A and B are shown apart, each in its own frame.
Chain A
Amino acid sequence: MSAVMAMNPVAERRPLLKVNKLTKHYGDHIGCEDVSFTVYPGEVIGIVGESGSGKSTLLNVLSAQMPPTSGAVEYDLSAKGLRDIFTLSEPERRKLMRTDWGVVHQNPRDGLRMNVSAGGNVGERLMAIGARHYGELRREGLDWMAKVELDTSRIDDKPKTFSGGMQQRLQIARNLVTRPRLVFMDEPTGGLDVSVQARLLDLLRGLVRELGIAAIIVTHDLAVVRLLADRLMVMRRGHVVEAGLTDQVLDDPHHPYTQLLVSSVLQV
């Protein structure tokens, strides 16, 4: 048995995020209900479902942007072990959010400072944790712009002069610069045309694998989770109706809703 455990690296790793019976009600309406799952370091979880199924609610609660009605979200603070993020003090939680976590918004305008140059956007998190050397910030900015395939000569341009795809890549660079262990992404490819989407997905897959970042990706696009996610959760009306390995869920859907979802995708 121990030999089997040793061969399976995931089994002996400590969970990074543990979600237990998470429920969010908006008055009488259900945002999401009774959601439980675990994320291990370096793992990418996809959450899919139609609009209004509670995906974004779930993501907002997980990333501490909204308090849950009940249930717990435990995160592995390296020094203190698993701790419920809603029992942390606000400064601790804010620090966690700008160092160990990243949030990539669907609309880059929500995640970027549009009147601050690209380099300043990338450097902001570093400055927030105490970087006070301009030359190093500059180097880091150029380095990350290259990593997300942005033209480094545009480091001093403001994001409002960037195209939608470039803004999204800049937002990713800005989040990954502090080497977070967990990144939340809400429809990272929403609003982008398919060729730009493909490049962004390629880039994301590379970065997530290279840096060993765990990610929770919310999307309604099954192609995105097929490419990026190790595991998949299908949500409907606030509940998780099916969960499992991505290929397993997509190739052999059990729940009628998942079957409908998979069969709705147009095969070109």
Chain B
Amino acid sequence: MSAVQEARWDEAYNFAYLDEQTKRMIRRSILKAIAVPGYQVPFGGREMPLAYGWGTGGIQVTASVIGPDDTLKVIDQGADDTTNAVSIRRFFSRVAGVETTEATEEADIIQTRHRIPEAPLREGQVLVYQVPQPEPLRSLEPRETETRKMHGYAEYGLMHVRLYEDIARYGHIATTYSYPVMVNGRYLMSPSPIPKFDNPKMQGNPAIQLFGAGREKRIYAIPPYTSVKSLDFDDHPFEPQTWDESCALCGADNSYLDEVVLDDHGGKMFVCSDTHFCEDRRAKGHRGELGADPAALAFARTADEGEAQ
């Protein structure tokens, strides 16, 4: 314990950047959000040293729940090594002195933008989503007064109008991300722009899922083991995305794949969007069809170097 006596974070800042009153205010909102799954709790969002749209909501939620002994993982579109993920990790190691990791299994808090990790989460973990638009009905009903009433009285027929429009135009439900869900059989919720591939992972998840929208100043949550149903029609049931390909690097056929352009001659490959999941599999000896290809490996290596910083 004595090691903790010495502050490990930059003492020019309060622990985890936000002042204690703000953190308490946000924690109260989080508790309310957990008590009413899927309900959007307003909170007094602060200015963060980060532009709106880069995760100001998520970073405030993380700052409020993180403790000095926690281990933090940050992903952006599944990747641990993109600018947003790297700078948020560095931010917290500076202002909170916390350990950071890329391993999903080792993390206590995972802040995410637009993905849920492939590795199953466990009890005690907290998944913090960055949310640009918390209101699933906004594109259909611009009035906040009206959408609040619709949530209050559970009038959600309008959401199905959007799905109807999809089927009428494309022959199937063409919404692939931000796919609306019903939480605990009561509140309609936007899952943030995660691909609908990840929607089934929210259902009955043992981890706590917190959603922070910085610009809109809303927090909502899914407590562990809560029912989360994706909306659909009886004759057009919900279906997650599928791929004909498997990951070119690790050969996984059950993960969310990104298409990567390799050259100017139409060369491309599909790779896991969850970089940690992919590396883990490669370390265990799994190889995809381009697992030995120099260009593909070069891609994987730059990714590795990115993580090393």
Which A residues are within 8 Å of any B CB, using their own CB?
A: 90-91, 94, 113, 116-117, 119-120, 123-130, 132-135, 137-138, 155-156
Given contacts A119-B168, A120-B168, A134-B235, are A90 and B153 in contact (CB under 8 A)?
yes
| Residues of B near any A CB (own CB < 8 A) | 140, 149, 152-153, 155, 157-158, 160-161, 164-165, 167-169, 232-236
Contact residues in A for B158 (Cβ distance below 8 Å): 124, 127-128
Interface of A is mostly: helix
Going nearest first, the 7 A-B pairs with the smallest beta carbon separation are A128-B157, A127-B157, A91-B153, A127-B160, A134-B233, A133-B234, A156-B168
Bound complex: CA A250 to CA B157 (Å): 44
Q: Across the two chains, which residue of chain A brings its CB closest to B153? A: A91
Q: How far is the CB of B50 from chain A (nearest CB, A)?
A: 33
Are the C-beta atoms of A132 and B168 separated by less than 8 Å? Answer: no
- In whole angstroms, how far apart are the Cα atoms of A132 and B234 in the complex? 6
What is the total of A-B residue contacts with beta carbons within 8 Å?
Answer: 58
A91 cross-chain contacts in B, Cβ below 8 A: 152-153, 155
CB pair B153 A134 closer than 8 Å:
no
Bound-state CA distance A50–B153 (Å) is: 39
Q: How far is the CB of B150 from chain A (nearest CB, A)?
A: 9
Question: Which residues of the other chain, A, contact B232 by a CB distance below 8 angstroms?
Answer: 132
Say whether B235 contacts A127, CB under 8 Å.
no
Contact B161 A133 (CB under 8 A): no
Q: Are A94 and B161 in contact (CB under 8 A)?
A: no
Q: How far is the CB of A92 from chain B (nearest CB, A)?
A: 9
Residues from chain A with Cβ under 8 Å of B149 in the complex: 90, 94
Rounded to whole angstroms, the CA-CA distance of A129 and B157 in the bound complex is: 7
Check A124–B169 contact: CB distance below 8 A.
no
In the assembled complex, the Cα of A90 lies from the Cα of B146 at a distance in Å of 12
Question: In the bound complex, how far is the Cα of B181 from the Cα of A54, in angstroms?
Answer: 45
Q: Give the complex CA separation of A87 and B236 in angstroms.
A: 40
Cβ A117 vs Cβ B165 within 8 A: yes
Bound state CA distance, A107 and B168, in angstroms?
26
- Shortest B145–chain A CB gap in Å is 12
CB <8 Å contact, A128 and B165: no
**Which partner residue on chain A sits nearest B169 by CB separation?**
A156
Residues of A within 8 A of B140 (CB): 113, 116
**Pairwise interchain contact B155-A94, C-beta atoms closer than 8 A:** yes
B153: which A residues are within 8 A, CB to CB?
A: 90-91, 94
Contact indicator B161/A127 (Cβ below 8 Å): yes
